[in-house]
Structure 1
Amino acid sequence: MLEPQQRLEAFVKLGALFRDYIQFKSRAAEEDREENHLFVQLDRSVDLAGQKNGWFTEDQVQFALEVWGNCLAEERLSAWLEPYEITVNQNKLVALILAGNIPLVGFHDLLAVLLSGNNALVKLSSNDNVLLPALLNILEELAPGMKNHVRFEDEMLKDFDSVIATGSNNTARYFEYYFGKKPNIIRRNRNSAAVLKGTETKEELKALGRDVFQYYGLGCRSVSKLFIPQDFNFDLLFEAFESYRYLLEERKYQNNYDYNKAIYLMSKFPFLDNGFVMLKEDTSYASPIGTLFYERYEDLKQLKSQLQKDQEHIQCLVAKGFMENEVPFGRTQYPSLSDYADGVDTVEFLLKT
């Protein structure tokens, strides 16, 4: 059995591998590149993940690996875990029911379970069932014995001590029914929003595009809703978004964009369109792919009150000088290790249950 410090060292090595891999891929055209057999394993898993899920393009998966490579630096991991008392293995079996909307969306939960000294019983989403097993194989090479702490299960989960389940509002009801008697974290739908004042620079609006379009808008940290002043200039926003027009080259994105546009046209819903993303006035937070909802406001104080009431629906709020805990433009897809989903401290839960 690996002790918490040994597990930490394994993830530090994994982070270094991710960083080296991203650099290796950026030098792909160089003839004198030196290939690592673990890079070959990563290449195969990235390719297979894309074959099974068309949203998991090579660029998207590599972006996820790059973000995690930075998070798994030793100083960041140590700073994250420093407030907690993790001295010995907890040896509890924690069931993880993972989502599959973006690449490696469940990696943080697995990381928290293992570094808190516990073991994981993992039920993967069919949309993301390649990458985590591949990374566990690599971790086993970096730290023999790591596989003893993780088991993947396709059937009904049983004989576990606690559970962390991520899904929709509908699946949350089933999770509560089946797992309500166990210590649990049950996550529901959340979306991210941005508050614009109309004074943003083109660079800030372009950065907002990363918050909107990374992972095709499929993540809970993806901005799907804008709050704008009454006299907001949409031309500036469309101009800043223009560099993301390449999204139409991805068939799945284009099909969703075309489908939703047809629905709006047939339903005679008013919307704005620049040829690859639509802006529709709507009070909902969750917008379909290829669409960004917006809502006008008259008073920032009233808006702040409204957003505070809607906290349970919001994962990230992008803004500049608007309220506490806001996320700067362009940074929603670069979470820190302490940015817990739904704001629930996963490590504290694992240590206290």
Structure 2
Amino acid sequence: MQIKDRINAFIKLGKFLGEINTETNHILKKAEAENGWFTPDNISFALKNWSQALSEENLEQWVAAYNLEEAQPKTVAIIMAGNIPLVGFHDFLSVLITGNKVLAKLSSNDKTLLPYLASHLISVEPRFKDLIEFTEGRLQNFDAVIATGSNNTARYFEYYFGKYPNIIRKNRNSVAVLTGEETEAELVKLADDIFRYFGLGCRNVSKIYIPENYNFEAFFKAMYSWKAIINNHKYINNYDYNKAVYLMDSFPLLDNEFMILKQDTGFSSPISVVFYEFYPGLESLKADLKANEMQIQCLVSKAGFTNEVAFGEAQHPQLWDYADGVDTVAFLLKI
């Protein structure tokens, strides 16, 4: 199969994703039933994002940066996370677009959506059938590994898969840097970066950096665009629990009845909680962020940081925006 054939198949898949009726599709209903965080809105958002990403222009631009010579396919084991819908799709796409074979071990939290997309991909390009395998058992007979998990599971991955060429991803979170000069529209977009997928993704903003004496009034006003999130029973259970724990420990909090702001130097805030930290100046903050870059997935700001992401764009990565900054395609081409 030539690269053009693979690209054309994914273009067709992208068009299919844009045509799915999320209200009546029984496969999507099944995914929702299996995972309470996979609401119809979040599944629809993920499908729309991938539909837009898999355009001919995007795919051609993405692969143009590489020399994708035809070679004997290697088998790449992908151990997928399940925190947000289709979180492992980019790895799946990368392995197949480079002409290799996918051996995927799905998360129990997201075991329906990707096989559904894979079946449609095979229907438009049957030659993919021999290049896609899903397994629930022990991974065997593979040449390389891409594994995504927590810091704890990463140690397990490194122990078992360290002898293979690998990409092993650990916990990362995203941050936003505010200057106090943001417009209301920008702060509303920041709310999207915080609350989309209930804050479960590595590209969700879990911490904000703010200047000393920052006035939170405009920030909290903008957050109200997501006030309906409290109606999700899983979310409100987390909100109530975290609030109770913090109050029992006498932590000072800022609270608007559906989100909690806690001053904290950490990055990984619990669901319904956003950490905040004051900074004395942008230059000192740049040094601090540089020192912690291995914990940060993306930085949302308009303050002029290198590789900063615009407000509202954290959950709209391009095909060439690689997790942890590790070029997956370049890795696959070296196997």
TM range (shorter): over 0.9
Q: TM-score, normalized by length of structure 1?
A: 0.93
Note the C-alpha offset of 1:139: 1.1
What residue number does 1:307 align with? 289
Tell me the distance in 2 between the aligned counterparts of 1:110 and 1:295: 37
Which residue, 241, 246, 250 being the options, matches 2:228? Answer: 246
Which residue, 173, 176, 179 being the options, matches 2:155? Answer: 173
The alignment covers a number of residue pairs equal to 335
Uncovered stretches (5+) of structure 2, i.e. residues with no partner: none
Secondary structure of the structure 2 residue equivalent to 1:233 = coil
Moved over 6 A (4+): none
Note the C-alpha offset of 1:297: 0.7
Please state if 1:116 is matched with 2:98.
yes
Q: Which runs of structure 2 are paired with 1:1-353 in the superposition (5 Å)?
A: 2-21=1-20, 43-353=25-335
Tell me the distance in 2 between the aligned counterparts of 1:90 and 1:269: 58
What's the % identity of the aligned pairs? 53
Checking the alignment, whether the CA contact within 8 Å between 1:4 and 1:89 is kept in structure 2 is no
Checking the alignment, whether the CA contact within 8 Å between 2:179 and 2:303 is kept in structure 1 is no
Per-residue CA deviations over 1:221-247 (Å, capped at 9, x if unaligned) read: 000000001111111111011110000
Per-residue CA deviations over 1:60-99 (Å, capped at 9, x if unaligned) read: 0010000000000011001000011113144000000000
Checking the alignment, whether the CA contact within 8 Å between 1:202 and 1:236 is kept in structure 2 is yes
Tell me the distance in 2 between the aligned counterparts of 1:269 and 1:322: 33
Q: Which amino acid aligns with 2:87?
A: V
RMSD: 1.1
Note the C-alpha offset of 1:20: 2.7
Tell me the distance in 2 between the aligned counterparts of 1:4 and 1:44: 33
Secondary structure of the structure 1 residue equivalent to 2:175 = strand
Checking the alignment, whether the CA contact within 8 Å between 1:193 and 1:227 is kept in structure 2 is yes
Q: Which amino acid aligns with 1:346?
A: T
Secondary structure of the structure 2 residue equivalent to 1:145 = helix
Tell me the distance in 2 between the aligned counterparts of 1:188 and 1:224: 16
Tell me the distance in 2 between the aligned counterparts of 1:204 and 1:331: 11
Uncovered stretches (5+) of structure 1, i.e. residues with no partner: 29-39
Tell me the distance in 2 between the aligned counterparts of 1:89 and 1:123: 24
Q: Which amino acid aligns with 1:16?
A: K
